[in-house]
Structure 1
Amino acid sequence: MRYDGPLWRTLRAADPEGRLAQVAVLSAHFGFRDAATPIADYDARLTEDLAARMIAGGVTTRWPRPPSPRQSDTYGMQAGAEIASMTRYGAAPFEAIALVGGRLYLDVMQALLPGFAGMGCVQPNARINFINGPIGRMRQDLRRWLCEAEPAGGEQP
């Protein structure tokens, strides 16, 4: 509920009960999170430098980073832990994925996919859709993906 931009409004309108897809968010401050996980208010934008650090850190680096380098690295959450919990620790790996966002966000998400796959959270033959472009087109593409992704047997993509 923290995010309320046009894509989030499209997601809520197309999937008001949250049954069509499991949703993760890539936050410039908190890293990857299950979208159902509450987060505190923050004011940060994803920059080239931050995106490069997230990519270099892979799925095991905790976000947010400790406020001081002298603090232990038990601060924040690992992207891998968040995604693993969404797939019941690999028991229900993702079969279809839509990566939605601006270029930097897509760069980070795409770079971390092999790590999630290596953990068994993404099937090797998973269908990956990239949704990027003008906001109107992204909203259409997201709605289309959600409607096409309606799973048989009640499983979420």
Structure 2
Amino acid sequence: MPARLRYDGPLWRTLRAVDPDGVCAKVAFLSAHYGFRDAETPIACYDARLTQDLAERMIAGGMTTRWPRPRRVTVPTAGMHPGHEIASMSRYGREPFSDVALVGGRLYVTVMSAMVAGFQRMGCVATDASVATINGPIGRTRQDLRRWLLMSGNSRGDAS
């Protein structure tokens, strides 16, 4: 099942309520298990939490580290890396994102912020992109996400 439907936390419920057809934003997610992925990616149920150590390893790995990490070197296609995912979502830089929202808890926002810089270097996020950080008490975060999704604009970005 696609991550957009699999995840059922309050922010995902807000996303689906405000944008049920997925037309307001191209959405990606950051997962302790799957790394950075397009929200249309099918995922299985899992139980993993983002820790400070894992967040630091994701940041250090940059745009080319595959998540989940391959268990054996002989499996070169295990996992996907953030650079591949954002390149695909931005049509390989032909349609760079100009409006981005980083939504989630402190560690997630920290990792996503580091990724945005890498995505900008790749040309997949415009260097002058508007980057909103949506983080805080859950009620306020849900309101801010709703407001961001409903903003008018020609080009919607990546709600991570």
TM more than 0.5: yes
Q: In structure 1, what is the Cα distance between the partners aligned to 2:144 and 2:94?
A: 29
TM-score with structure 1 setting the length: 0.93
Equivalent position of 1:151 in the other structure = 153
Equivalent position of 2:21 in the other structure = 17
Q: The residue matched to 2:57 in structure 1 has which SS?
A: helix
Residue pair 1:22, 1:156 contacting (<8 A) in 2 also: yes
Matched AA of 2:39: A
Residue pair 1:99, 1:128 contacting (<8 A) in 2 also: yes
Report how far residue 2 of structure 1 moved. Answer: 1.3
Report how far residue 46 of structure 1 moved. Answer: 0.2
TM-score with structure 2 setting the length: 0.91
Q: The residue matched to 1:124 in structure 2 has which SS?
A: strand
Partner deviation per Cα, 1:75-115 (whole Å, 9 max, x = no partner): 11011100110000000000000000000000100011111
Q: In structure 1, what is the Cα distance between the partners aligned to 2:76 and 2:56?
A: 19
Structure 1 segments (4+ residues) deviating >6 Å: none
1:130 corresponds to 2:133: yes
Equivalent position of 1:105 in the other structure = 108
Q: Indicate the percent of aligned positions where both proteins have the same amino acid.
A: 65
Residue pair 1:131, 1:138 contacting (<8 A) in 2 also: yes
Give ranges in structure 2 of 5+ residues lacking alignment. none
Determine which of 87, 90, 93 is the counterpart of 1:90. 93
Q: The residue matched to 2:37 in structure 1 has which SS?
A: strand
Residue pair 2:98, 2:126 contacting (<8 A) in 1 also: yes
Give ranges in structure 1 of 5+ residues lacking alignment. none
Q: In structure 2, what is the Cα distance between the partners aligned to 1:111 and 1:156?
A: 20
Q: In structure 2, what is the Cα distance between the partners aligned to 1:130 and 1:27?
A: 17
Q: How does 1:4-83 map to 2 (within 5 A)?
A: 4-68=8-72, 70-83=73-86
What value does the CA root-mean-square deviation take over the aligned residues?
Answer: 1.2
Report how far residue 73 of structure 1 moved. Answer: 4.3
Residue pair 1:95, 1:125 contacting (<8 A) in 2 also: yes
